[in-house]
Amino acid sequence: MLNISAPDLLNYSTKIFQFCQTPIEEAKIVADHLVTANLMGFDSHGVIRIPEYIGYVNKGLIQPGASIKIKKEMSTAATIDCGWNFGQVGALRAMEIAIEKADSNHMATVVTTNCCHAGRIGTYTQLAAERGFIAIALANSLHAGRWVLPWGGQEGRLATNPISFAVPCPGSDPILSDFSTAETAEGKIRVYRNRGEQVPAGWIVDAEGKPTCDPKDFYGPPQGSILPFGGDRGYRGYALSLLVDILGGILAASTSMADRDGNGICFIVIDITAFQSREQFGVLIEEMKGFIKSSPPAEGFKEVVMPGELDFRLKQERLKSGISLDHNTWEAICNTAKGLGIKDSPNYSVT
């Protein structure tokens, strides 16, 4: 494994996006999003995505600098056309609009269309919570990412369809949950593949529907599939995944059949002051947190933690110690940079 400081990785990532004709402010948005994902332990949605994104730019599937437009709007709702710009740029603008509407009207629902892969969906709910709002996000995928089996099926029809929610906690990090409605995100399988490791049992099946732990059986050819979460009760993950498809895609009048990568996102933002003061809410949240965390830890656990708590701790650790990347991922990033004409690369240590 290679270890690189977060500032060096951020500068290098920003430079890569600038070299593919991305406006500087947008290059910073995408790079910061990816590096922050690594810092918080979401390596599947971090800089491992750089070669993929630059490949999409080269194919014209991502259009750097494309304008983000409001396609349809009401006081508490909007549909945002992201113009096939980087998904992080479009999704960030969509969440900002949702926050603005919730601030003025107490509630807001904003959906996106023509949005490329938006990365770690918890980024956006976290932003809303840090500004004092409760937020929910659901993100589906277009046809290119439909690797997840419907309950009882043998061929993928759904995406990993993550759901995230975030709740403000005065004086501390927000409660933040971000999880796939499948047993795993595809990007996590990619991380295992790049490291030359087997994935945990129960995540994937091969093209014949047989359980496997080999990432190569998933990527094929022929293509394997990811299981919906829930094990022998996977109909629960299946049902949630359908909800994500409906709110993240169909609600925006978007088809999921386009044969390309991208997300349909639904943001729901709630203004706490529509119901009570922020101060009272903060007291009640702290009371709840204290009660939950007071549970004696079960065997194998040191403590009870709130959703997102370990992610924020890891961020602080990695800001001090650096971000670890496997050789295959780093080589792919550096080769992508060289292909754009970038000759230098940041220093790193080997761990």
Per-residue confidence (pLDDT) for residue 315, from 0 to 100: 98
Judge whether residue 143 has pLDDT over 90: no
Predicted confidence (pLDDT) per residue in 210-234, tens digit: 999 999 999 999 999 999 999 999 9
3-state secondary structure of 4: strand
Q: How far apart are CA 246 and CA 175, in angstroms?
A: 25
Cα distance between residue 176 and residue 154, in whole Å: 33
With H, G, I as helix, E, B as strand and everything else as coil, classify residue 175. Answer: strand
Count of residues in the chain: 351
| Token code pair at residue 85 | 């710009």
Write the burial class of residue 76 (CB in 10 Å: 0-12 exposed, 13-18 middle, 19+ buried).
Answer: middle
Residue 110 pairs with which residues in a beta bridge? 78, 267
CB-CB contact of 320 with 3 (8 Å): no
Give mean pLDDT, residues 133-138. 98
Give the residue carrying structure tokens 């370990």.
310
The tokens describing 305, both together, are 């933690």
Tokens 């970038």 locate to 342
The tens digit of pLDDT for each residue in 44-90 reads 999 999 999 999 999 999 999 999 999 999 999 999 999 999 999 99
Helix, strand or coil, per DSSP, at residue 123: helix
Answer for the pair 138, 175: CB distance below 8 angstroms, yes or no.
no
Residues facing residue 182 across a β-bridge: 228
Instruction: Report the alpha-carbon distance of residue 103 to residue 106 in Å, rounded.
Output: 6
pLDDT confidence bin for 17, thresholds 50/70/90: very high
Residue 145: the pLDDT is 82
Q: Which tokens belong to 89?
A: 């740029």
CA distance 20 to 172: 38
Mean pLDDT of 309-329: 97
Q: pLDDT for 174-209, tens place per residue?
A: 999 999 999 999 999 999 999 999 999 999 999 999
pTM for the full model? 0.95
Sheet with 107-113: list strands edge to edge: 69-73, 77-81, 107-113, 263-271, 133-141, 163-169, 172-179
Q: Residue 325 above 90 pLDDT?
A: yes
Closest-CA residue to 42 (of 145, 128, 123): 123
Rounded mean pLDDT, 14-28:
98
